Amino acid sequence: MKYIILDLEATCWEGKSLTKRPNEIIEIGAICVDEQKQILGEFVTFVKPLKNPILSDFCTQLTSINQTMVDTAPYFPEALAHFQQWIQSFDIEYWLCSWGFYDRTQFKQDCLLHQLPTEWLQNHISLKHQYTTIAQLHRHIGMKGALQNENIPLEGTHHRGIDDARNINKIFLKYFHQWQFTTVV
């Protein structure tokens, strides 16, 4: 069994509730960890959005991902194929682990947009929701807050997929034997 600690970045706009534009993935960042808590590899790719290919200034400022990075990137179907090949290079059996359910939902949305299957998302857990119980908190907190709660420094650029995956992995490894793995339908 392998564990894929992942984080996505997606198109976004200030005051998005007014825009009605669907978010699309612009970065996939992931770490593969084995049963011995060894990091087997990292994956990162930018993704060129299809529906709204021009990044908003808000998105660029939030993520530090610029227009050139996505303009030269593959579209989602090709990026996803590379990501899935990377996962399969480690093991046929895996769990996707992200900080909340957003990443699974966004993957599903992009798969549906491009008419791609979503079954590969079934084995997914939200570390954020389980962390609330593990850390005996009264409410869910973001990854940055969880790092602060654990006195673990945030490294890299917050809201960059690969850097956030690395930071989430620190929490994942700290509580490695406490995570509960149940399939999401």
Domain containing residue 41: CATH number? 3.30.420.10
pLDDT at residue 183 is higher than 80: no
Is the pLDDT at 109 greater than 70? The verdict is: yes
**51-65 pLDDT tens trace:** 999 999 999 999 999
Number of domains the chain contains:
1
Say if 13 falls within a structural domain.
yes
Q: Give me the domain span that covers residue 30.
A: 2-178
Q: Is residue 18 predicted with pLDDT exceeding 70?
A: no
pLDDT the model gives residue 182: 85
DSSP code string of the chain: -EEEEEEEEE---TTHHHH-PPP-EEEEEEEEE-TTS-EEEEEEEE-B-SS--SPPHHHHHHH---HHHHHTSPBHHHHHHHHHHHHHTT-S-EEEEESSSHHHHHHHHHHHHTT---GGGSSEEEHHHHHHHHTT-SS---HHHHHHHTT----S-TT-HHHHHHHHHHHHHHTGGG-------
Is 184 a residue whose pLDDT tops 70?
no
- pLDDT at residue 19, as a whole number: 61
User: Is residue 40 a part of any domain in this protein?
Assistant: yes
Residue 140 lies in a domain: yes
The pTM assigned to this predicted structure is 0.95
